[in-house]
Homo-oligomer: A and B are copies of this chain.
Amino acid sequence: MSPADPQVPLSPVIDYLNRLHETCATATEGEVATYIPDLAKANPDWFGICLVTATGSVYAVGDTDVPFTIQSISKPFVYGLALEDRGRSAVLEKVGTEPTGDAFNSISLEPGTGRPRNPMINAGAIATAGLVEGRTHETQLRRLLETFGLYAGRALSIDEEVYQSESETGHRNRAIGHMLRNFDILSNDPMPVTELYFQQCSISVTCRDLAVMAATLANRGVNPLTGKQALRGEYVESVLSVMETCGMYDYAGEWLYNVGMPAKSGVSGGVIAVLPGQLGIGVFSPRLDARGNSVRGIKVCETLSRNLDLHLLNRPTIGRFTIRLKFTAADVNSKRVRTEEESQMLRKTGSRICVWQLQGNLTFSTTEIVVRDLIENFADVDFFIIDFQQVLSLNESACHLFHGFLEKLTGHDKRMMFTHTGSVPLLRRFLRIKMGAGSDAEYLAFDVNDLALEWCENKLLDLHLPDRKRDHRADPATCDAFAGLSGEELAIVTPLLQHRSYKAGESVIIAGDEADEIFLLVRGNTSVLVPLASGALKRLATFSPGMSFGEMAVIDRAPRSALIRADTDVECALLTLADFDRLGREHPRIKIQLLQNLCITMSGKLRKANWELGVLTE
């Protein structure tokens, strides 16, 4: 099956839902709603269960494609729309947030203000419908349908027959409309608003639609199948709050206690439940209990919550795994190849450079774990490298914590560095605002850890090995490759060397070329580069004067395996394959020494690679 298909047919989740469907189908108590004639036509045996995760998996069993009208389940979605259109405080002026303990069609206006107690009772829902943006009833309706379509991930329409039936029998709701007008909760003619309310209740949906809509609320307002935003993230908590306290009518306490998910039911037999950040559930079964909730709908939600441990208030502790990996430059280094002296110094002092590789969602609680760890390492670390590559999201309170830590560095000879900040644009914006455009003085941003590590290593080496050679001109006779050769032997080898120069950026070796030269780097830097899937080049090594490269292909007679490029203007001394072979015949002692030197260099690199592998994968 294709990963793009959101339905996962082979899944044990489907097996489980099939068993659940079978069990709950035995419940045949309850009656189909009859208060408007069209609802009474529903087949009482219809029964669908659909679960959609916030990451976009869809699990549907039973009658999940039968259309029915959404009824009261429309209320939270229209409430979200009103919040977007008017803002939270304007909406709260017109509709409260307290549960009533009364039935769904109670009028329940707050003494004094005349505010409906909450947006889930009819009075509150009509008041909410009146807040939908639009100069005319038609533009309001269009906006409402468009928004519902974003939630469902497909265009939805009104069941005109049910709407007419609702409208013809909706006297009580019209009375509510006039009452709301009386208290100035509705400021214009209440009749078009009441019609809009009848229409929103008559939107035709399926059980699958309901689950996708619920999953959109679970996914902070973004439809997990289409990736489109149906509601701004900041309002999701408000919609879910009124669902949680008022969504199941006079049943809120028991529902939260037993099921523990914000939910909403409708008289046509639908129920939705939302576990924020995780999943949405849609159930459809038209038989209702005395409270007007779907009998099987409630049974399914209760069983799902119990079996799958979905109670909102039963959460495992956020663990320390926000820090995916942590290592220091005593163990893992940049790709710049170091001299033995430098390597020894880095093993000794590299723990002053520490990399925190973070992952997941950075909120207050997960970032607190990180910042606490930074602080606990304050005395022992001078270079704090924070890697955001695996971070999925970051909120403002996380920004505050990172900025707060950055401020702690003032007056200390310590630096903070951020890598892969492309995934956290909010952080860069936040720091720019807090610290001004010149905030590079406070922190440094690098694309990749490799470059950040090299920068820090150089600082550390400058401090501890102030006299180390840098950017010097190496005498080929003192190259590592010629170590152990006598003066006499050197006098034989060095005249064989050819000299060649490259401009910065020029290719020294191209992958696939025939290998017929060993390179000794006399001046400048060269890097081994391999292309990534993204097209970018990743460096495998950078060489400094006195080091050699390109030997292996000469020994195993294989084509060149990677690109080597001049980072700066470069001078090289070259030993050709022909001369190397001739040395073997005429001066075997020299060739033996060269090969032994190469073995020692490679053995050091192998040991280092295996060490890093161990540290990074433990």
Contact = CB atoms under 8 A, between A and B. Distances in A.
A282 interface: no
Interface stretch (A284-292, A294-302, A312-320, A462-470): A312-320
Please list the 5 inter-chain residue pairs (A to B) with the smallest Cβ-Cβ separation, ordered nearest first: A12-B404, A588-B588, A277-B315, A98-B253, A316-B361
A278 interface: yes
A225 to B, nearest CB: 13
B260 A253 contact: no
Nearest to A533: B618
A610 to B, nearest CB: 6
Interface of A: 1, 3, 8, 10-13, 15-16, 53-55, 57, 96-99, 101, 118, 218-220, 224, 233-234, 236-238, 240-242, 244-246, 252-254, 256-257, 260, 262, 275-279, 307-321, 324, 359-361, 363-365, 368-369, 371-372, 375-376, 378, 390, 392-393, 395-397, 400-401, 403-405, 407-408, 538, 540, 552, 555-556, 561, 584, 588-589, 591-592, 595-596, 598-600, 602-603, 605-607, 609-610, 612-614, 616-617
A260 B244 CA distance: 11
Contacts of A361: 316-317, 319
Given A99-B101, A310-B364, A321-B359, 5 more contacts: A12-B400, A54-B365, A98-B254, A321-B360, A591-B592
Contact of A257 (B97, B592, B617): B97
Given A238-B257, A252-B245, A365-B278, A316 B220 contact: yes
A393 B321 CA distance: 12
A9 to B, nearest CB: 9
Contacts of A53: 365, 368-369
Contact of A99 (B99, B397, B404, B561): B99
Given A609-B606, A609-B609, A1 B376 contact: yes
30 contacts: A3-B376, A8-B376, A11-B404, A12-B371, A12-B404, A13-B371, A13-B404, A15-B404, A16-B404, A55-B317, A96-B254, A99-B99, A99-B252, A220-B314, A233-B314, A237-B312, A238-B257, A245-B245, A276-B314, A277-B318, A278-B365, A307-B400, A316-B393, A316-B395, A555-B599, A556-B603, A584-B588, A588-B588, A602-B606, A609-B610
In this complex, the member of A13, A589, A598 whose beta carbon has the largest number of chain B beta carbons within 10 angstroms is A13
Contacts of A614: 538
In this complex, the member of A253, A361, A588, A607 whose beta carbon has the largest number of chain B beta carbons within 10 angstroms is A253
A249 to B, nearest CB: 12
A376 to B, nearest CB: 5
Given A245-B245, A256-B244, A279-B365, A313 B613 contact: no
A277 B236 contact: no
A94 B432 CA distance: 58
A442 to B, nearest CB: 14
A314 B396 CA distance: 13
A76 to B, nearest CB: 12
Contacts of A584: 588-589, 592
A312 B607 CA distance: 49
A602 B602 contact: yes
A592 B589 contact: no
A127 to B, nearest CB: 16
A390 B618 CA distance: 10
A119 to B, nearest CB: 11
B277 A316 contact: yes
Contacts of A254: 96-98
Contact of A375 (B11, B246, B405, B596): B11
Contacts of A218: 317
Contact of A372 (B11, B318, B617): B11
